[in-house]
Structure 1
Amino acid sequence: MNILHFFFGVCGNATALFLFLAPTVTFKRILKNKSTQQFSGIPYVMTLLNCLLSCWYGLPFVSPNNILVATINGTGAAIETVYVLMFLMFAPRREKVKIGGLFVFVLAVFSAVVLISLLALHGHPRKLFCGFAATIFSIIMYGSPLSIMRMVIKTKSVEYMPFLLSLFVFLCGTSWFIYGLIGRDPFVAVPNGFGCGLGALQLILYFIYYDKNKKTTDDNAIEMGPEKNPHQAQDQAQAQVKRSDKGSQNGRV
């Protein structure tokens, strides 16, 4: 059981690292254009909070035998911090104020959790408190692609839902879900079971709406969550459908 526990923890580390590094393609584009364009910084900030809380939960004095949870989320927190700072550097003023305020909120929430768990709680109550906090924001992070999934169903296009990202969301959620089950840790199993289910739904949607005659994925679209403005992406997809319908009508005339 210990070997299986360690094995799935390593698998979870590998797949999670891919998810954390996936936005590098987008940030190369941001650096090249010196602008955040229509990309959103919210997923990075919320993922940062999830990583900080999960890393804290995985530390031995909070939750024994979860050091692999702490290592990958500590790495993820460092990566997401770089993303947030880069986004703030190139974002327009209004977006910079919004993301900057959210960044301060994330640091305040994490600091509050750390102080309460250290000064007011000990033993099992500390694990429960930190575990609930980490679980809530893990579910929020995994739920971030829901708006994209809704758009896929509405537009019948997977242009803004890359296959590789959906695959690794599924693999990451599955690995950590099994890790949590073997370790009998509901605070790891529950949110990652949710992520496993969402990843499976994304893959199902992808295969339902995938069109082999179109290039539905773009290297610049590999992202951690709904990077492009969902409303703008939806408008573009609907406009494309209207143009196709108009072209078909003209062909029948």
Structure 2
Amino acid sequence: MAVSVAVLRTVFGILGNIISFFVCLAPIPTFVRIYKRKSSEGYQSIPYVIALFSAMLWIYYAMIKKNVMVMITINTVSLVIQIFYISFYLFYAPKKEKTLTVKFVLFVDVFAFGLIFFLTYFLLHGEKRVQVLGYVCMVFSLCVFVAPLGIIRKVIKTRSAEFMPFSLSFFLTLSAVMWFFYGLLSKDMNIALPNVLGFIFGVLQMILYLIYKKPGTKVLEPPVINLQEISDHVVDVVRLSSMVCSSQMRTLVPQDSADMEDTITIDEKIKGDIEKMKESKEMFLISKN
């Protein structure tokens, strides 16, 4: 029994929704790391800003074209998640990155989308509006897949895949396959064509990850400074140095009565210095507590 095109299209649309949802969740490890470091330094917000813009465009396109509910559902979910990611990034971003991200959001997600909406909704009508809007969506879908090029360049330059999660690359590739077949069966090249490039970039990212992945590498945590141990160590070093100096002086210097008096004076001075160090240590610990 042959499966109809409509059934296959529906199946690929549902699979596309499910996998795209995992694509949206793939950056979670990145944001967990940002949370642990309390800083977003080393990561970029550009992919999330562009992904938000793409979701907004596809929702608009699906509402204009109609009969593409699968595009509305997943892009609405993506829109909400991308807003959360950008907000989380801004909370932990350095001042410079925070300013650049806000400017980028205002320029792309507010100004650019508003301009596209105004021009297509008020100046175009019917099939022409759908066609032009489809071209616009296709161009910016390509931008979503091209956005990781900055990360790819960084991976090659640093020879480290730390900032390119494998899970995101894998799910992007799988999602591109599903949406390609959905667009092909729907005879909508605006959906199918961008996912060809998405598949290529996804495979490239996975290959680079396997090449530059460094197993067993961990982010070095700053050492914890124990002031108690430092003060004990200082006193021990002084005590040891005094013992060594005293023994060497007794061995090398003739021990006549005058020399003995000098040695005793030196020993008493060293002992006095040790007592002062102990008192300084006790005062330091008292002030600390």
Question: How do 1:150-169 residues align onto structure 2 when only pairs under 5 Å count?
Answer: 150-152=153-155, 158-169=161-172
Q: Which residue of 2 aligns with 1:57?
A: 61
Task: In structure 1, give the amino acid aligned to 2:199.
Answer: C
TM-score (norm 1): 0.75
CA distance in 2, matches of 1:89, 1:172: 29
Quote the Cα distance in structure 1 between the aligned partners of 2:139 and 2:158.
30
Q: 1:38 aligns with which of 38, 42, 55?
A: 42
Change beyond 3 A, Cα 1:153–1:175: same
Distance 1:138 1:125 in 2: 20
| 1:85 aligned to which of 80, 84, 87 | 87
Q: Name the CA distance, whole Å, in 1 between partners of 2:125 and 2:86.
A: 33
Q: 1:186 to 1:19 in 2, by over 3 A?
A: same
Counterparts of 2:128 and 2:183 in 1: how far apart (Å)?
A: 19
- CA displacement, residues 33-69 of structure 1 (integer Å, 9 cap, x when unaligned): 443222221221111111111121112xx12322211
Name the residue aligned to 2:18: 14
SS in 2 for 1:38: coil
Gapped regions of structure 2 (runs ≥ 5): 220-289
Per-residue displacement from partner, 1:196-234 (whole Å, max 9, x unpaired)?
Answer: 122223334445x277x834799xxxxxxxxxxxxxxxx
Q: 2:43 aligns to what SS in structure 1? A: coil
State the 1:151 CA deviation: 5.0
- 1:134: how far off? 1.2
Following TM superposition, by how much is the alpha carbon of 1:88 offset from its aligned partner in structure 2, in angstroms? Answer: 2.1
The letter for the 2-side match of 1:78 is V
TM-score between the two structures when normalised by the length of structure 2: 0.66
Instruction: Supply the distance in 2 between the matched residues of 1:18 and 1:4 (Cα, whole angstroms).
Output: 21
SS at the partner of 2:65? coil
Q: Give yes or no for contact 1:41–1:84 (8 Å, CA) kept in 2.
A: yes
How much has 1:89 moved relative to structure 2?
2.5
Structure 1 residue 13: Cα displacement: 0.9
Q: Relative to 1, partners in 2 of residues 1:23 and 1:166: Cα closer, same or farther, differing over 3 Å?
A: closer
Higher relative contact order (CA 8 A, sep 6+): 1
Q: Which runs of 5+ in 1 are unaligned?
A: 219-253
Higher helix share: 2
Q: Which amino acid aligns with 2:75?
A: N
CA contact (8 A) 2:16 2:178 kept: yes
Equivalent pairs: percent with the same residue?
Answer: 36
2:52, 2:44 → 1: CA distance?
14
Q: Deviations over 1:64-110 (max 9, x none)?
A: 32221121111111111111122222322222211111111121111
> CA RMSD of the aligned region, Å?
2.4
The one-letter code of the counterpart of 2:85 is Y
Q: Do residues 113 (structure 1) and 121 (structure 2) align? A: no
2:71 to 51, 69, 78: 69
**In structure 2, distance between residues paired with 1:55 and 1:70:** 5
Amino acid at match of 1:81: I
Q: Residues 151 and 164 of structure 2 are in contact (CA less than 8 Å); yes or no, is this contact kept in structure 1?
A: yes
Q: Which residue type is aligned with residue 95 of structure 2?
A: R
